[in-house]
Amino acid sequence: MTTVPNSITVTRAELFRRTIRRSALVSAENAFIDCRTPGSESKLNYAIIGSGVSETEQFINLDVPHGYQLGGASMPPGVNNSLHMHFTAEVFIVAAGTFRFRWGRSQIDGEYVGGVGDIISIPTWVFRGFTNVGGEDNFIFTILGGDETGGLIWEPNVLRQAEGHGLHLTVANHLIDTIAGDVLTQDTELVAPMTKDQVAGMRSVSVDDMRARVTTNDDRRFSEAALLCNVVPGGRTRLALIIGYGMSEDRAQEPRVHNPHGFTVAALRADHAEGMLLHRHDESQVLIVVSGEWLVTLNEPADVPVEVRLGPDDTLSVPPRAWRSIVNVSQTPDAEIVVINGGDGRNHLEWHCDVAEAAREAGVGLDANGYLASWSLIKHSMATTSPAN
């Protein structure tokens, strides 16, 4: 067996670099301008993939462009993340604890209390904030759209309150801390608070509209026919589309959230010894383990396979065009992993020729649009396609 053209080989060192354990995350307490405002202090922020919208220098676990970024946050009970807005998509994944999310202008439009497993997409150009209402054990992942996010804009009162605690934000998205000895000169151009008219002109989002952008565990709609490998032993999985169409090969499956984010989000579940068999695609991919233990193997069998075991809250970045398989190796039934893929469109999977052949023997193939179909009905139309399809 030879390596398929345009594939890449991931070394063991590169796999190690792209594996981010929950225990390896490094927090920053002063990443944002509200870090001294009473009620908003003692927050811990994490830059997991990319720098996000941090206003200070902080440790980044993996500084590799993906087309999106991954961060995290935790905070003591009762502490707030102050109102602010983003230019690019922001999605929260509640990994532990309970958070009250709020959004709106000077008057809050609504609130939603999110628990473990909830995935919340807040629209751009809308003020948002959140509060830990669930105790000491709490953590949320945050996905941001774009390699360059443009920073953020704070609700005007947040900037005014921070100024009273010696903190100022420059137009270059840099935090100046006069209490720590930073010098604020006349030449320093600071971010001006939004005017009342600008705030009044911001969009309003109803509670019902926001609820439609929340995906709870009960909201997930899993398809058992979403992937070609489902008909092959060891490849039985269930896939739920959360944001965007992603990598589903079920023509009837639709995501809960449709609008462009710059990335797609899906939940993949499998029982013991089942998962996604060997495949690849053109987009960057990030895997976040929700439950169980998963074995991820990269590269073709004829090459030099490398593998890593991932546990809850561990993260792995898989480069584009790398062959990969993902298997639940725990005894946890219905173990779940969140899959983030780059791009707003469908991620057309290329299955390894061995997987594609086994699927055809089971009577299933992919039609010209990349969806599952009876092989007996489509084989005449696929005569000129690659064996990998």
Tens digit of each residue's pLDDT (9 = 90 or more) over 95-142: 999 999 999 986 789 999 999 999 999 999 999 999 999 989 999 999
Contact yes or no for 233/326 (Cβ under 8 A): no
- CB atoms under 10 Å from CB of 29, counted, come to 14
Is the predicted pLDDT of residue 383 greater than 70, yes or no? no
Top pLDDT among 389 and 100 is at 100
CATH number of the structural domain 31-214: 2.60.120.10
- For 326-381, the pLDDT digits (tens) are 999 999 999 999 999 999 999 999 999 999 999 999 999 999 999 999 999 999 98
Q: What is the mean pLDDT of residues 226-253?
A: 98
Q: 40 pLDDT band (50/70/90 cuts)?
A: confident
As annotated, the residues of the chain forming the CATH 2.60.120.10 domain(s) are 31-214, 220-382
Q: 260 pLDDT band (50/70/90 cuts)?
A: very high
Top pLDDT among 178 and 277 is at 277
Is the predicted pLDDT of residue 41 greater than 80, yes or no? yes
Note every long-range contact of 2-9, with CB atoms under 8 Å and residues 24 or more positions apart, other chains counting: 2/302, 3/300, 3/302, 3/303, 4/300, 4/350, 4/388, 6/321, 7/280, 7/300, 7/321, 7/322, 7/323, 8/319, 8/320, 8/321, 8/322, 9/299, 9/303, 9/304
Tell me which of 1-15, 18-32, 270-284 is least confident.
Answer: 1-15
From 165, 143, 98, 382, select the one nearest 284 (Cα to Cα). Answer: 143
Q: What is the pLDDT of residue 106?
A: 66
Q: 35 pLDDT band (50/70/90 cuts)?
A: confident
Calculate the average pLDDT of the chain: 93
Contact yes or no for 354/233 (Cβ under 8 A): no
Burial class (CB in 10 A: 0-12, 13-18, 19+), 329: middle
Is the predicted pLDDT of residue 3 greater than 60, yes or no? no
Q: What is the pLDDT of residue 386?
A: 47
Q: What is the pLDDT of residue 2?
A: 37
**What is the distance between the alpha carbons of residues 51 and 174, in angstroms, rounded to a whole number?**
13
Is the predicted pLDDT of residue 319 greater than 90, yes or no? yes
- For 171-215, the pLDDT digits (tens) are 888 889 898 888 888 888 999 999 999 999 999 999 999 999 999
From 216, 32, 184, select the one nearest 114 (Cα to Cα). Answer: 216
**What is the distance between the alpha carbons of residues 65 and 215, in angstroms, rounded to a whole number?**
27
Q: Is the pTM of this model over 0.85?
A: yes
Is the predicted pLDDT of residue 389 greater than 50, yes or no? no
Top pLDDT among 262 and 173 is at 262
Task: Please state whether 300 falls in left (phi above 0), alpha (psi between -120 and 50) or beta.
Answer: beta
Superfamily of segment(s) 220-382: Jelly Rolls (2.60.120.10)
Return the DSSP state at 252.
T
Q: What is the pLDDT of residue 5?
A: 53
